[in-house]
Amino acid sequence: MSILVGKKAPNFSAPAVINGSEIVQNFSLDQFLGKQHVIFYFYPADFTFVCPTEIIAFQRKMEEFEKRNVAVIGCSTDSEFSHWKWLQTEQNDGGIKGVKYPLVADSAKTIAENYGVLAGEYNYNDEGEASFEGAPVAYRGLFLIDKEGIVRHQVVNDLPLGRSVDETLRMVDALQFFEKNGEVCPADWHSGEEAMKATFDGVADYLGSHK
């Protein structure tokens, strides 16, 4: 798995479904540069069991993300047509109707590969024939990207393990607090609690250069 923290988020241009029903081509994170923080997360597949709980949980907390000026974007290795169909399916029938934030289609699996979350890889035999080992889907990777396009936080779960939306919001709060105040956030810090000043000069200089 790639460690992307501190690096530029890999760029892409891909189809996506926005506003719950509109298919667009050439969706990119570039539109958020200088404007918004981004939560970009991967899930394994449409029409599965754990995935809709996460996707719907993010939608239910969209007001909290919007308060913080954060864009939420999901992505899987399904096609845009699969996304669209799932978005038209009622939640009582296993669908995710009502989700409005963008879902990116990574059917070529290149986005998942570039973010280091593809749950498998291609191998070639002596005859040059390709085979795929592992699962041709994405692990549950999540990336917090700042307004400059730099990854500031990442977490990757195995396929059976759902993520915490509240923890994602906590990390957004911690990053935005640091960006505003220059103070670092200790373990289990929550908005409204005291933070810490970096007292070691080298650490302070380093943190200041990454604000």
Task: Compute how many other C-beta atoms are within 10 angstroms of the C-beta atom of residue 23.
Answer: 15
Q: Which residue has the higher pLDDT, 89 or 206?
A: 89
Instruction: Please give the CATH topology (third level) of the domain spanning 14-161.
Output: Glutaredoxin (3.40.30)
Instruction: Tell me the domain boundaries of the chain.
Output: 14-161, 164-211
User: Is residue 146 pLDDT above 70, yes or no?
Assistant: yes
**pLDDT tens-place string over residues 100-132:** 999 999 999 999 999 999 999 889 988 889 888
Residue matched to tokens 């549950």: 140
DSSP letter at 159 equals T
Q: What is the pLDDT of residue 201?
A: 45
51 catalytically annotated: yes
Q: What's the mean pLDDT in 136-150?
A: 97
Q: Which of 51, 70, 118, 138 is catalytic?
A: 51
User: Is residue 89 pLDDT above 70, yes or no?
Assistant: yes
Task: Compute how many other C-beta atoms are within 10 angstroms of the C-beta atom of residue 34.
Answer: 9
**pLDDT tens-place string over residues 153-204:** 999 999 999 999 999 999 999 899 888 776 565 566 555 555 557 654 445 4
Q: What is the pLDDT of residue 194?
A: 59
Report the length, in residues, of the chain.
211
Q: What is the pLDDT of residue 177?
A: 84
Q: What is the pLDDT of residue 179?
A: 84
User: Is residue 209 pLDDT above 60, yes or no?
Assistant: no
Contacts of residue 138, defined as CB under 8 A and 6 or more positions apart, other chains included, come to: 42, 43, 44, 75, 76, 77, 106, 112, 117, 118, 119
Q: What is the pLDDT of residue 116?
A: 96
**pLDDT tens-place string over residues 51-87:** 899 999 999 999 999 999 999 999 999 999 999 999 9
What does pTM read for this prediction?
Answer: 0.88
Q: What is the pLDDT of residue 140?
A: 97
Q: What is the pLDDT of residue 202?
A: 44
